[in-house]
Every structure is written in structure tokens, then in C-alpha cells.
Amino acid sequence: MPLPPSGKTPWPPVQFAEPFADMDVWRAWYSGDTSHLAQVYGGPGAYVQNHAAQQFFDLNKPSQFRGGIIGGLARMFWGEPVTPGQSASKLHVPIASDIAELSANLLWSDIPTVTVDADSAEDAAGLVATQDQIKRYLDDYGHSTLREGAEMAAALSGVYVRVVWDVALRPRPWMDVLSPDAVVPEWRWGMLAAATVWRELDPVHGSGEVWRLLERHEPGTIEYGLFRGDGDTLGMLMALADHPETQELVGRVNEAGIVETGIDRMLISYMPNVGPNRVWDHLPGAKPFGRSDFAGVESLMGSLDEAWTSWMRDLRLGKARIMLPQSMLETDGPGQGGVFDLDREVFVQLNMLDDASGSAITATQFAIRVEEHERTVGALRHQILSSAGYSAQSFGDEGNVAVTATEVAAREKQSLTTRGLKILYQRPALLDVLTTMLYVDVTHCGAKGVDPTVELTASWPQAVQPDPEATARTLSLLESAGAISTWMKVKTVHPEWDDDQVAEEVARIRDDKASAQPIPAGDPFGGRPGQEDDEEPDEGAPEGEEEPEGEEDDGGQPKAA
């Protein structure tokens, strides 16, 4: 299918209005921008600093959301308007960004091991070259890019990974991460069949028009289109040379605005966070998006912010205040009002009525409900983490006391279960991206000896590493019982190694044992069994005859030889 038609085409497409609106809400929680939070929940968040604009903002208007009117959103904590005459004092607890960061760290703190299936390679040389090239793709740059993508996916339900190349910048292709609302997908049987990447460009000559660049990906081709419209519609199709940011594309595309990639596959893949999505299951075009870690806990995160704000309000109102009559104020002169110095300890004269007494000065200090707020905040925090699929231990809520690996795994069972579930969704996308990079590397970057047709497998390292001392004791007991081989001992200590690496280590261990074999006792000349003895035979035993083993004594018992 080509690019959307020129004219009053709604953009983004109406079928993605609800998913993109939800993603905007999750982005507000993820970024922690309080103005954005107030805006997505129907409040005048964008006009907090502009009091004149607030007067024109209808505070009683229900929130416009998902194409309909949902007044309940305006009754949430961040949708409530600011009381007139009072400064905005709402506080935000960045628990959403903490959850997304933890999710990415659980998945990508260590790079997974990607191996080439030996049966799928044409020859051993191609297998080795392909394996080495994949390791170059997953260098520090590739590792950090995938980790950033996993954090964004946890917040926004998934990310797109686009393979790009420019030999003037890097000798091999690399990955580019795109947010899910920056791409309009087309699914076929739940698989990505086409994708249109879009972004807004800077206005030309300061006009109020909106310029958009669309980049449509299909197997084998990339089609570009420049549109000039407004905030809601795509507008007219323009020439790529009409905007300064797209002029460099003129020399790359053909007359139809298409670039032939030379690869019979798309250069963009989708990496979902986790599924299924419980909110968009009625939208066929949104079901494959995946589910955000924040889905369903938005109200709890709002309650946490409300409880934290109330706690800080108690601290603010709990400050000691002194109330005193007007007669005790020192005048600054006619029309200037009066003052009272709270830091003065000795007063020489007070201007007050004769019947006034010291009891006229009243000290006021409200109670600070620390314990009640702490329990409320703790309960909300625990429920948010549990609903998002993580253990409190992962956030340090149970302390940092040194424990064994088994105890850590037991305390973080929920987090580790969520990690394993996310790996099921991210492994196929990772292998698809790496395969695309192999094709691009061979076709456009001149990679030598690389076989892009091979099959790949990926395995993630253990999230909780076992205690080396406990592992050593276990292996020692198994060796004493004769229940484990040297090959299996090496594999247990290094589970990330392949069979060839384990075999090489086993050979080295056997060589070390052979070279360190001790000299037999009683052999001062270093003789070994089987060596010839250069000394003369014992004279007590004639040649060809054996030495008697012993002589019998008078009691009929043989003497020791």
C-alpha cells in the first residue's frame, strides 16, 4: 500500500486515537512532568504559570479523552483544579520511572548470549565470521540502545527498532529505537507487515502550518513523503526539496520517492513489553502493541502523589506560629502597617492595653501525622509494585542485608517471574533485528564471510548469580560421591560458555593435572613406573633365580623378607 492520500486525511489515524492517548498518559507518568500530568487528566496544566490564561480555561469542563467525555478523569488528583488564591503545591513521586528503570535493568544489565546454529551455517568459516559480527553489533553502543528501548517499552507498551546504516559514520549498521506512537503499524495475523514512521518538522518561515515527514517501510522498499497540513490533518503532499530538513533525501529516492533496500525484509521490527493488553483487546489494530507496566495502576500512582502531598502539607502547616493582638505590633508609621520581631528576646516597652496580659500571645502548632502518612504511602507503594509485577525487595524495601542467592531469589520471585515473561516477548524481536542487521551489513556495508541466512538463538544470563562458595562446596561433594564429571563441573561454573569453550577448559584442566603429578615415594632418582633400572641386580639372588620371600624361624613362622 502507498502513503496516505493527500488532502484532509486525519493524522494520526483515528483507529489509533485511543492507544496513542493512553501512551500520552503513560509518558506523563514516566517523565514525571507535573504540568503534563495535569494536562492529560483534564486540568490547566499547560497554564500554571499564566494566570491570565487560567481565567479563560473552563475548570468545570469535563476532560476530553479517547475521543469522548470522561468527567471522572478531572476528579482524579492531577485533574483537580488549583484552589483560587493558593499556589500549586502538588508533589509527584517518580515511582513510574523507577518501575521502568528496574524493568530495563532486570533485562539488560548483562548482554544476552546470541549464538549461531551450526547446522544452519554453510561452512565453519562462515559460522565463525557471523558469530564475531553479531558480537560487534552487541557492543556497548548496541547494548545501551537495547537497554534504553526496554525502559521505554516498559512505560509505553513497546518500542520499534529500526536498522540504519551510514558507512561515513560507522563501518557497520546499528539500531535506532522509536516510541510506539511515532509509528503507524499495519499488522497481518499479529505480525508487522508494514510500518509508517512519522515526525513533525520545524515550520517554514514561522508559519502556522504543520509539516510532517512520513517514512513507509515495506519488505524491500522505503517510501518517503512530505506533507503540509495542520494539527489534525495530514494536508497536501509536497516535494522533498520544499523543506530544508528533507532536501538531502532528494538524491536518494527515485521519481516515486522510493528507496530500494535490496533486502527482502523490512528494516523495522516491533519489540513489545508484555502481553496481552487488557484495554485494547477490542481494537484489532492495537492488540499486538503489548501492555505497559503502568496499565491499571494510574489511579494508585495518583493516590500515592496525593498522600505524599498531604504529608508535606502537614509539615508545612505544622510549623509553629505565634498569634498576638494588634496592640503588640510596632508601627512603621502612618499608613505603613505594623511589625513584630519574633527573634527579639527582651522587650523594653510594649504598646498594648493596660488590662492585657502575657496570655494574649498564643503559640499554635498543628500535629504532623507522620505515622499515618508513612503507613499509607508504604501500602500504596507496595500495591503499585505488586500490580506492576515486581517485588518490594527489588526496590530495597526489605533492606540490604547480605543473604544467599537462594534467599534473594525467593524474595524477588515476582520480579524474576516478570523478567522471564518479558524475555519471551523480546527474544524473537531481538533475533529478527540481528538477522536484519546481517543482511544490511552484507548488502550495504561490505561485510565479508558473513552468512545472513543462519538461524540464531539467544539466552539471557541468570538474574541472581549463585554464591561461588556455595557452588564450590556443592561440586566438591558431588566429586567426592563420584556423581559429576569434569565437563559438567566446568559447565556449572560457567553456564554462559558453549560446548567448545567447556571442552577447551576441560582439556586445560587435565593437562595441568598431568604436569603436576607427584613423584612416587621412595624413588629419589625420580624414576617412574615402567622405567629401566640401571643398577646391578642384587648379589643375594642369583641371576635367573628368585629371592626367597622369607626363612622360617624355630617356631615354624616365616621371617620377614
What pLDDT is recorded for position 491? 86
DSSP string, 33-102: -HHHHHHHTTS-GGGSS-HHHHHHS-TTSPPEETTEE-GGGGGSGGGSPPPTTS--------HHHHHHHH
Distance CA(307)–CA(325), nearest Å, equals 36
- The pLDDT tens digits of the residues spanning 65-90 come to 343 334 444 457 887 776 665 566 78
Lowest mean pLDDT among 128-132, 141-145, 378-382, 552-556: 552-556
pTM of the shown model: 0.75
Give the residue-averaged pLDDT of 292-312: 92
> Nearest-5° angle of CA 153, CA 421, CA 186?
50
What pLDDT is recorded for position 269? 96
- The pLDDT tens digits of the residues spanning 325-363 come to 666 566 666 666 666 565 544 444 445 554 445 456 666
527 pLDDT above the threshold of 70:
no
Q: Any bridge partners for residue 178, and if so which? A: 160
Give Cα 243 to chain centroid, integer Å: 36
What pLDDT is recorded for position 19? 93
- The pLDDT tens digits of the residues spanning 355-400 come to 445 456 666 667 788 889 899 999 999 999 999 999 887 877 665 5
47 pLDDT above the threshold of 50:
no
| Helix, strand, coil fractions of the chain, as percent rounded to 5 | 40, 15, 45
Pairing of strands 113-116, 321-323: unpaired
What pLDDT is recorded for position 393? 79
Distance CA(181)–CA(160), nearest Å, equals 10
488 pLDDT above the threshold of 50:
yes
